[in-house]
A and B are shown apart, each in its own frame.
Chain A
Amino acid sequence: MYYTDVLNIIFGLCVLYHTLPAVDSVRWLALAKMTSIGSIDSEDHCDSLYGFVKRQKKLCRKNLEIMDNVKVGALVAIEECQSQFKNRRWNCSTADNKKLFGNVILKQGTREAAFVHAISSAGVAHSVTRACSSGTLQKCGCDRTVRGRSKEGFEWSGCSDNVDYGMAFSKAFVDAREKGKKRKNSGRALMNLHNNEAGRKAVDANMKVDCKCHGVSGSCEMRTCWKAMPSFKKVGEILKEKFDGATEVKHQVKGTRNELVPLNPQFKRHTESDLVYMVASPDFCEADKKTGSLGTHGRICNRTSKAIDGCELLCCGRGYRTRIVTVVERCMCKFLWCCYVKCKECERKVEEHTCL
């Protein structure tokens, strides 16, 4: 009795130890699904937030005003993920408001997990940078890394680019989950850290440099350049490309070096901006609690397509059902550059195919 108990406890601890690091490293994304419309406005609120680790709660308390932007970042990340994957078997749907993507992301180091990590860290960086640019955040820093020694600061040499702060905050907040002592060196933590960084790189490396000449009579004797952030759609597209070309890696400990190396030694080593994964993805055909797959039953497919969104592939060969549905659409609108426009409502009959 006593023996088995001890064994059980040890076993349990081991399981905990092994699952904890992998579990819920993007749990904070649940922020996006926070039901209350109100913002995170008190320090107590930070402690009650679901899915935050200690370090993140601390960051939350210290940077209350930024948390709304983190939330926006999580939201746009999920939206973009769903838009990029809308035609695939795994469509980034968030069935569970707390666990969001289910076990597929939380427990296993699949390609999909890699993508979710990358896009969420990119989302935070993007949204915080944007907030800094709009002036709504009081907290964004003004340090000039070069010539920061001047006390006069802004008057002497202006402020650094907004993106520096966005990147730094994303790094501090998103990576916080992997920084615990226990998990520091696990393979999965390394993978997450790498993919988080790759996500931020997708924002940083795709900044567009614009220049303006403003010397005497508009000559280029004086020229000033700045970086413009790519749209988040663009970031999503880039990460989707990285997803398609992701590298399968394994964890390797060599002396003090603790790193991820390509599983196939003949493959070229991944760069900082590439996505990496450790476990091959399931086929996502059938719902499976263990993997977190939702299955493709009932998904709408495209009969004419031969690609992954075609009924053949999406329904995993199970066949599909066709029915005629009437949709009500806004039509004959006169669109302007924004806002409310007057439209008519039209009814249209369309064929809809759903997987069996």
Chain B
Amino acid sequence: MGGVVLENLSNKKLSILAVSLLLILIVFFLIGGLIAPAPSNVMNMVTTKCHDITVDVKPKSWYIPRGPAGCDAVDDFDDPIIYQKHVDTRMIVFALWIPYPRDHKQLDMSRWFQNMLTVLQMDIEHRPTNPILENATMKMEVRLGYRNKNDNETDWKELISTSINRPLHCEINGTKNGEQYKCDLVSFFELGSVHYDYYLINLRLPVYPQKPTNQGLGTIKDIWIITIFQNGGFTKVWFALKTTMFPVVLTILVWFWRRIKLLSREPNLLERTLLALGIVLSIMNCPVEWFTIWFDLPWMTIVTDVRQGAFYATLMSFWMIFAGEHIMDSIPKNSLSRYKIHLSLVVFGCLCLFIFEMCEKGMQLANPFYTIWVTETGAHLALAFIILAGMAACTYFLFLSYMIFKVFRNISAKKTALPRMSNIRRKFYMGLIFRFKFLMVLTLLCAALTTIFFIISQVSEGQWKWGDEGISLEYSSAFLTGVYGMWNVYVIGLLSLYAPSHKQYTNADINNSDGSQEEEVQLTQIPTENSALSSYVTKEAED
């Protein structure tokens, strides 16, 4: 029995495989760039200022910005009517109906949008008599409702009604009357599923007598609500990719495991890790998101994030174990316990991110308006978790680099010793070195590509155009599908190339067939000097 497929593949076959994997990668990239639209889209909408005459009536009815049941709107707070009617802050409702009408049709949100998040942009004017005070906080009373297309015009149902605090951070250059403040965006709410057709926001900023809330907010002219959602087209392309990749990876995984089962020995650690990597990738690929098209599953985003995190964690563990198993020293290998520290680093980092994710997105399941960042302690805590995760990642990479350094040092040491070795040992070591270097190059290539793509997607406008024919490449989508495809191709490559080869070492090199039996080595288990010596002795004796 010999090494893995990679060693026994002829150069021609290897290059064919490499080229076809590269082609698949390019296809992924182009699918994202040419077919899919941008990953997400934005609606920048201004709220309608409704006049509420029923201040003390409870329960509150819905204020709808337009349509037959539309509210009594105020165009401008400077309108003399405000003074005439003695309208005060409690009688103003900022109302928004998402989405807007276009081309004479009321658009509707689609379940394909998957998720939606909103931020507020405050339009505040400076007046010397009424400036924004330091540490100003808005206490908003919000109501979020929904309705479906076929429901009655006024039949809005409540998703949540709550009161939220948001600090207001604004700056101004001049002190001129009427100058506009530059305000930071205010995070509003985030939904993990877009299950309904229409959403309605009713927002109030009431000032109650003898209460210090909502004071010193400047002169608010307008509140803009920016809604960001995933594009339906992108979701469709993404689902399609996942649905195709899932069975492909699963098939290769089954083939890989059957190969290992055929061996007479137990699977070694590296093979088990590869199997784990394949399984986690399949879990990530599994297109369970399809259910969101029929059911309201706001937790699906978390599940998707967790699955993605699990994949990257397994990938990192795999690299660690792979490097560790290729250190050609005499410490016994093939046991997971050897990597306790390294793996706990990965687990710790992921745990930190997981806790953070649960604190933010998990809490949002109960209250979409919740965000950890608005309170001081919450922000510190979130930052602490992220810094801890970052530190774990840094330590991990230090460890990994140290291990790789050790492998390379041993490789150069072994190389000088190679000519003096027996054929089988030389073959074994050469195979080991080749396997390691191949993975090194492949991994570095993937990592470099990911980084480069990422940087470009951050720098570029997100869209590239060639010529006047309108051939354009949606770069940010291409980045996402490209990276997704790349790691899939990477794992497929690993599974197929690092599976045990069914080709035997030819006995031409080893005159003695019994010797080959004795010298049977496991994939990465280097025969100890002792056993090698003893086999050498037996060989001598037989001769």
Listed in ascending order, the chain A residues whose CB lies under 8 Å from chain B are: 130, 132-142, 144, 146-147, 150, 152, 154-159, 161-162, 210, 212, 214, 216-218, 220-228, 231, 233-234, 333, 335-340
Contacts and interface: CB of A to CB of B under 8 A. Distances in A.
A139 B92 CA distance: 27
A134 B110 CA distance: 20
A154 B109 CA distance: 9
A162 B214 contact: no
B66 A226 contact: no
A233 B101 contact: no
Interface string B195-239: 000000000010100000011011110001010110111001000
Given A231-B180, A339-B87, A339-B92, A152 B228 contact: no
B458 A150 contact: no
Contacts of B231: 156-158
A231 B228 contact: no
A152 B110 CA distance: 11
B103 interface: yes
Contacts of A216: 305, 308-309, 357
Nearest to A137: B101
Contact of A159 (B102, B117, B179, B214): B102
Contacts of A217: 305, 353, 356-357, 360, 386
B233 A156 contact: yes
Interface of B: 37-48, 65-66, 77, 82-83, 85-89, 91-92, 96-97, 99-105, 107, 110, 112, 117, 119, 121, 123-124, 127, 129-130, 178-180, 185, 205, 207, 214-215, 217-220, 224, 226, 228-229, 231-233, 236, 305, 308-309, 353, 356-357, 360, 386, 454, 458, 462-463, 465, 470, 472, 474, 476, 480
Q: Which of A233, A234, A335 has the most CB of B within 10 A?
A: A335
B179 A233 contact: yes
Contacts of A147: 37, 472, 474
A152 B360 contact: no
B313 to A, nearest CB: 13
Contact of A136 (B66, B92, B205, B308): B66
CB-CB nearest 7 A-B residue pairs: A158-B41, A157-B37, A335-B130, A142-B102, A156-B233, A135-B100, A155-B232
A146 B464 CA distance: 11
A343 to B, nearest CB: 10
Main secondary structure of the interface of B (DSSP, over half): mixed
Contacts of B39: 222
Nearest to B124: A337
A333 B226 CA distance: 34
Contacts of B229: 158
A233 B180 contact: yes
A139 B219 contact: no
A150 B228 CA distance: 20
A136 B207 CA distance: 28
A113 B309 CA distance: 62
B226 A226 contact: yes
A132 B224 CA distance: 13
Given A133-B45, A133-B224, A336 B215 contact: yes
A338 B308 CA distance: 47
B43 A158 contact: yes
B77 A141 contact: no
Given A136-B65, A216-B309, A339-B87, 16 more contacts: A132-B100, A134-B45, A134-B46, A135-B65, A141-B103, A154-B99, A157-B38, A159-B41, A159-B43, A212-B185, A212-B228, A217-B356, A222-B39, A223-B458, A337-B205, A337-B220
Contacts, number: 173
B458 A220 contact: yes
A224 B308 CA distance: 21
B180 A234 contact: yes
Contacts of B44: 133, 161-162, 226-228
A210 to B, nearest CB: 6
A212 B190 CA distance: 13
B45 A333 contact: no
A227 B474 CA distance: 19
A37 to B, nearest CB: 12
Q: Which of B41, B97, B386, B454 has the most CB of A within 10 A?
A: B41
B121 A210 contact: yes
A336 B185 contact: no
Contacts of B130: 335-337
Contacts of A132: 100
Nearest to A223: B458
Nearest to B38: A157
A254 B310 CA distance: 70
Contact of B89 (A140, A210, A220, A337): A337
A224 B45 contact: no
A212 to B, nearest CB: 6
A199 B311 CA distance: 53
B138 to A, nearest CB: 9
Contacts of B86: 340
A224 B41 contact: yes
Given A141-B103, A212-B228, A340 B83 contact: yes
Contacts of B85: 340
A202 B89 CA distance: 34
B240 to A, nearest CB: 14
A26 to B, nearest CB: 24
A106 B19 CA distance: 71
Given A134-B65, A340-B87, A157 B41 contact: yes
Nearest to A65: B104
A342 to B, nearest CB: 10
B289 to A, nearest CB: 15
A72 B449 CA distance: 52
Contact of A222 (B40, B99, B104, B232): B40
Contacts of B100: 132-135, 140
Q: Which of B43, B48, B82 has the most CB of A within 10 A?
A: B43
Q: Which of A155, A222, A225, A234 has the most CB of B within 10 A?
A: A155
